[in-house]
Amino acid sequence: MYPEKFQYFAPSDMASLEELLDKYKDDSKILAGGQSIIPLLKMRFTSIPNIIDISNISGLSFIKHNNNLEIGPMTRTAEVAASNTISVNCPLLFDAAGKVADPQVRNMGTIGGDICEADPRNDMPAVMLALNAEFEITNSSGKRTLNSSEFFKDAYTTALDSNDILTKISIKNTGYHGKYFKYTTLASDFAVFAVAINMKLNSDGTVKDIGIALTNVSSTAVKAEEAETYLIGKKIDDKTSEEAFNKLSNIIELDDDYNGTKEDKEKILKNIFVKGLKEVYGDSK
């Protein structure tokens, strides 16, 4: 099936992009890697009058580390999954990037596209929440910075205005240990659910700082703030990890579906969460 007709633009610089976004702000969509939008257009699940392809704009693909880790939104997921800089400084992001879909999607998809699509099944929103990442947002009026906790609003909905573009991802919590625990029915599937954990310990083995977020347990990725607060200053064992899981009750929304009953999925999620906490804790020692 072919998509409905649309105008296609491929600006070569930020000034041209900002002009197009201002002109078509109410009926346009940015095309990054195209792994989400192109299938929707071809199946006519959506119709977009104006497509703005940002792949020709230089300076939107990069990986840098000084005091913070900085990543451009057009950086391909495969580049993130192969980056030694990210492997050393942000193991959680490195691990998660290698678990996104399949090689074809990772080679074409971008980290910014994954974030801005805000699909509750996407992997990067929860990872960004666990990392307390900050996003630089740009439009023709200037730049502003949003924390990831302010960015994700609902399914497919973010704090981006219609003429905004994500121009940089910043991660201050480097030097932590972390992993992404993803439960799927097939290797290339979206997560049935997943848990992102980022952790740093004190010298006595207690938790100094921790970020926890979950994928596909609500209408958007959710940050487990009560569990994080509870674990600060504690050592992680069976008792504390199970109690931390109990703190999730007000943020997870599991239902019966073709992946299993609510009760079965809760048991699997608890197992992944508890084992994941203990595994990252062990890596952090």
Considering its fold, how many domains does the chain have in total? 3
Once rounded to an integer, what is the mean pLDDT over residues 271-280?
98
pLDDT at 40 over 70: no
- Identify whether 1 is part of a domain: no
pLDDT at 93 over 70: yes
Residues 6+ apart with CB under 8 A from 235: 205, 206, 207, 281
Q: Are residues 48 and 67 in the same domain?
A: no
pLDDT at residue 189 is higher than 90 = no
Is residue 246 in some structural domain?
yes
C-alpha distances in angstroms, 25 versus 15, 34, 102, 159? 15, 19, 33, 15
31-35, 100-104, 162-166: least confident range: 31-35
Q: Which pLDDT band, with edges at 50, 70 and 90, does 136 fall under?
A: very high
**pLDDT tens column, 206-219:** 999 999 999 999 99
Q: Is it the case that residue 226 has pLDDT exceeding 80?
A: yes
Same domain, 216 and 242: yes
Q: Which residues contact 15 (CB under 8 A, 6 or more apart)?
A: none
The CATH number of the domain holding residue 36 is: 3.30.43.10
The mean per-residue pLDDT over the stretch 271-281 comes to: 98
User: Has residue 1 got a pLDDT over 70?
Assistant: no
Lowest mean pLDDT among 31-45, 61-75, 129-143, 182-196: 31-45
Instruction: Give the residue from 168, 180, 216, 161 showing the smallest Cα distance to 69.
Output: 168
> How big is the chain by its Cα radius of gyration, in Å?
19
pLDDT at 35 over 90: no
Query: Is the per-residue pLDDT at 186 higher than 90?
Result: no
Mean pLDDT of 11-19: 96
pLDDT of residue 263: 96
Asked whether the predicted pLDDT for residue 269 surpasses 80, the reply is: yes
* Whether residue 2 has pLDDT greater than 80: no
H helix intervals, the chain = 14-23, 37-42, 77-82, 84-89, 91-97, 103-108, 111-117, 124-130, 148-151, 225-231, 238-246, 262-284
Q: Which of 142, 171, 200 is the last residue of a domain?
A: 171
Asked, for residue 100, whether it belongs to a domain, the answer is yes
pLDDT of residue 254: 94
Task: Encode pLDDT of 162-176 as tens digits.
Answer: 999 999 999 999 999
**Residue 184 and residue 149 share a domain:** no
Residue range 180-204: average pLDDT?
92
Structural domain range at position 216: 177-284
Same domain, 84 and 125: yes
* Whole-number average pLDDT of the chain: 94
Q: Could you tell me if residue 216 is inside a domain?
A: yes
- Given a cut of 80, is residue 37 above it in pLDDT? no
pLDDT band at 45, cuts 50/70/90?
low
CATH number at residue 68: 3.30.465.10
More confident residue, 26 or 252: 252
User: Residue 5: pLDDT above 70?
Assistant: yes
pTM for the predicted model, two decimal places: 0.95
* In-domain check, residue 135: yes
Spatial contact of 136 and 166, defined as CB atoms under 8 Å apart: yes
